[in-house]
């Protein structure tokens, strides 16, 4: 059974057109993460939620925002996508305990035209 689900798997948007990526989980984990992974690079953490508390990484562009309406769902909003935002976006979840591993979704590949 899928535990971390990301929709859509592929998203095409136009330069400057807002886009929302979604993530849901069936694990009831209290922490959810969003990573950006550009081609042939390592995933890079954008932000995470502990329950409803939002935590932004210092170098995450203002263009990226997130919402977590409940435990199961988390959204990544890109307000004005640029060509440089084309990437794979990975959602992950974990419990907030030392040594806990993260469970990743399959990712959404974003293409900006």
Partner 1 sequence: SQQGEEDPQALSIQEGENATMNCSYKTSINNLQWYRQNSGRGLVHLILIRSNEREKHSGRLRVTLDTSKKSSSLLITASRAADTASYFCATVLRGTQGAQKLVFGQGTRLTINP
Q: How far apart are CA 22 and CA 112, in angstroms?
A: 17
Looking at 12-20, 50-58, 63-71, 79-87, which segment touches partner 1 (CB under 8 A)? 50-58
> CA nearest 66: which of 32, 99, 37?
32
Q: How many CA atoms lie within 13 A of 12 on its CB side?
A: 1
| Interface map 69-98 toward partner 1 (x if CB under 8 A) | -------------------x-x-x-x-xxx
- What are phi and psi for residue 16, nearest 5 degrees? 85, -5
Chain residues 15-34 in contact with partner 1, contact rule CB under 8 A: 31, 33
Q: Which residues bind partner 1 (CB under 8 A)?
A: 4, 6, 31, 33, 41-45, 48, 50, 53, 55, 88, 90, 92, 94, 96-107, 109
């Amino acid at each position: 059974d899928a535990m971390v689900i990301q929709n859509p798997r592929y998203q095409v948007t136009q330069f400057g057109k807002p886009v929302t990526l979604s993530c849901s989980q069936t694990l009831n984990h209290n922490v959810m993460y969003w990573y950006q992974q550009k081609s042939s690079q390592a995933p890079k953490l954008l932000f995470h939620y502990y329950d409803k508390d939002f935590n932004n990484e210092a170098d995450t562009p203002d263009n990226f925002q997130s919402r977590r309406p409940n435990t199961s769902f988390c959204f990544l909003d890109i307000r004005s996508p640029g060509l440089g935002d084309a990437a794979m976006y990975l959602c992950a979840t974990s419990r907030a305990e030392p040594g806990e591993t993260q469970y990743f979704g399959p990712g959404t590949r974003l293409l900006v035209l």
